[in-house]
Amino acid sequence: MTLLPQETIARKRDGKELSQAEIFAFVAGLTSGTVNDAQAAAFAMAVYFQNMTLDERVALTLAMRDSGRVLDWSDLDGPTIDKHSTGGVGDNVSLMLAPILAACGAYVPMISGRGLGHTGGTLDKFDSIPGYMTNPDIDTLRRVVKRVGCAIISQTDDLAPADRRLYSIRDVTATVEDVSLITASILSKKLAAGLDALILDVKSGSGAFMKTLDDSMGLAESLVSVANGAGLKTGALITDMNQPLASAAGNWLEGKNAIDFLTGSHRDPRLQEVTLALCAHGLVLGGMALDYDDGFIRAKIALDSGAAAEKFFAMANALGSWHDLEKYVPGPVGVVREVHPVSIGRVAHIDVRGVGMAVVVLGGGRTDPSQKIDYHVGFDRLAGIGTKVDPQTPIARIHARDEATAAEAEKRLLAAYTIDEDTPEHPVIYSEISPKGGQ
């Protein structure tokens, strides 16, 4: 007997474990509309306070995956591998990882999102590329992945539609932070993409969704356990977000940083370490490398040989960009100048969320999902922790449309940087979680 939505809500409210059938029925109602917004909100709040068991999380993930189309890549001659990051500032890893994996012979159908709040979105970076289609139909996605090896696009309407509806309700009911719901939301889209393997990048620190290492570990363990329980071979790295990962923050500036990385013009050391580590683990999970060292070597060769750069440019061209992106320079933004600290010392601490909000002030981020953004504003040449600075040595270069927004963003950036003599060390990779959930 299928319970009514209000009965399912009451059982979870009272701390009962829901059966797979109950969860599937409720998610089917989310998709069809027989579960109304008030009921969806009540369900999310009940889960927020009562949590979910591993079995419930797996069931919710599978139900949301099955609420729409599930892609099938069985006609390809290699594994489909993807990566997901929980988000941060200067996190442009996807732009390099997808073409590196493709150059190694994997296929990467990456379904990505846009930024909200202080975090940047992968799709916004690609929207800054003239002509690039971030929302092609599934047939175009299949054609580009098969021909080039990778395609980075937005979630289509027919992939995990239940997640899209539930997330919009969570966003306005203060239930976004629940680990059970985060897990199902992330993984339902990845499972719908028809992947063979997934590597997760769970951030920790002042610019991360999870500020403490314990919270980041908890989310990573949930994601890895549920993904493998749902049949998707998955591992995770817990990485540092106590400073921007790239030396740029802002959509085109991060895109240019990625192009420079792929072509070898400039590679931020911490960004390279995280990118190649994720690639190596992804190749192992996908059965394309014997072990981590083998995967790392394969990824580094793909990068250093220029093969990954060729894949990136081929992907951009296949999805509509007509420019020579290695030489592309967008029109001037109005104000480009250095930001200087008033004190002498080393960068000891960075409020990374503050850096991200400074980009938002410039117009480069959103506080509302429907908000239009300026793709060309932001910061580059961002100084990392430990860098020696003084009033003549800048901590960043600002790109703004006008002096008023530049002044406000500069004020915020300076407030986000602490200059001192003692500088704490933050390893860029804190920990690894294997597909079986053990460290």
CATH number at residue 375: 3.90.1170.30
Among residues 8, 122, 128, 206, the one annotated as catalytic is 122
Lowest model confidence (mean pLDDT) among 299-313, 326-340, 387-401, 424-438:
424-438
Among residues 190, 256, 270, 353, the one annotated as catalytic is 190
Among residues 185, 188, 204, 275, the one annotated as catalytic is 185
Q: Is the pLDDT of residue 59 over 50?
A: yes
Lowest model confidence (mean pLDDT) among 91-100, 154-163, 187-196, 320-329:
320-329
- d(Cα 268, Cα 247) in Å, to the nearest integer? 7
- Burial class for 342, CB neighbours closer than 10 Å (0-12, 13-18, 19+): exposed
- Whether residue 87 sits in one domain with residue 34: no
The predicted model gives 298-310 an average pLDDT of: 98
Token digits for 9? 């809500």
- Residue 192 structural domain: 81-325+429-433
Token digits for 296? 């790392």
Q: Is the pLDDT of residue 213 over 90?
A: yes
- d(Cα 80, Cα 101) in Å, to the nearest integer? 10
- d(Cα 285, Cα 436) in Å, to the nearest integer? 12
- Whether residue 306 sits in one domain with residue 184: yes
If pLDDT is split at 50, 70 and 90, which confidence band does 172 have? confident
Active site (annotated) includes residue 84: yes
Among residues 84, 165, 311, 353, the one annotated as catalytic is 84
The predicted model gives 54-80 an average pLDDT of: 96
Residue 95 lies in a domain: yes
Q: Is the pLDDT of residue 438 over 60?
A: no
Active site (annotated) includes residue 122: yes
Instruction: Measure the N-to-C terminal CA separation of the chain; round to a whole number of Å.
Output: 41
Lowest model confidence (mean pLDDT) among 112-121, 154-163, 235-244, 321-330:
112-121
pLDDT value for 158: 87
Residue 201 lies in a domain: yes
Residue 60 lies in a domain: no
- Whether residue 370 sits in one domain with residue 279: no
Candidates 151, 159, 162; CA nearest to 99 is 151
Beta bridge partners of 80: 107
pLDDT value for 437: 42
**Average pLDDT, whole number, for the chain?**
93
Residue 66 lies in a domain: no
- Whether residue 340 sits in one domain with residue 321: no
- Whether residue 150 sits in one domain with residue 233: yes
Residue whose entry in the numeric block shows the structure tokens 């200067």 = 90
Beta bridge partners of 201: 85, 237
> Contacts from 140-144 at CB under 8 Å and sequence distance 24+?
140/319, 141/109, 142/71, 143/318, 144/315, 144/318, 144/319
For the chain, how long is the longest CA-to-CA vector? 73
> 10 Å Cβ neighbour count for 161?
19
Among residues 65, 80, 82, 321, the one annotated as catalytic is 82
- Whether residue 178 sits in one domain with residue 253: yes
Strands 197-204 and 108-112: unpaired
Residue 33 lies in a domain: yes
Active site (annotated) includes residue 170: yes
- d(Cα 90, Cα 132) in Å, to the nearest integer? 21
pLDDT value for 2: 66
Query: What CATH number does the domain containing 314 carry?
Result: 3.40.1030.10
Query: What CATH number does the domain containing 31 carry?
Result: 1.20.970.10
- Whether residue 359 sits in one domain with residue 315: no
Token digits for 90? 């200067």
Among residues 83, 164, 270, 349, the one annotated as catalytic is 83
- Whether residue 151 sits in one domain with residue 32: no
The predicted model gives 106-123 an average pLDDT of: 80
Chain centroid to CA 84: 5
- Whether residue 300 sits in one domain with residue 361: no
Element containing residue 9 per DSSP (H, E) = helix 5-13
- Whether residue 117 sits in one domain with residue 192: yes
Residue 378 lies in a domain: yes
What is the count of structural domains for the chain?
3
The predicted model gives 64-69 an average pLDDT of: 95
Among residues 57, 65, 125, 189, the one annotated as catalytic is 189
- Whether residue 100 sits in one domain with residue 16: no
The predicted model gives 306-325 an average pLDDT of: 93
Q: Is the pLDDT of residue 211 over 80?
A: yes
If pLDDT is split at 50, 70 and 90, which confidence band does 436 have? low
Active site (annotated) includes residue 34: no
Three-state SS at 388: strand
Q: What's the whole-model pTM score?
A: 0.93
- Whether residue 281 sits in one domain with residue 216: yes
Element containing residue 337 per DSSP (H, E) = strand 335-339
If pLDDT is split at 50, 70 and 90, which confidence band does 116 have? low
pLDDT value for 325: 84
Active site (annotated) includes residue 190: yes
If pLDDT is split at 50, 70 and 90, which confidence band does 236 have? very high
Higher-pLDDT residue of 210, 2:
210
Residue 64 lies in a domain: no
Among residues 170, 203, 256, 349, the one annotated as catalytic is 170
Candidates 66, 56, 54; CA nearest to 18 is 56
Residue 55 lies in a domain: no
Chain centroid to CA 25: 30
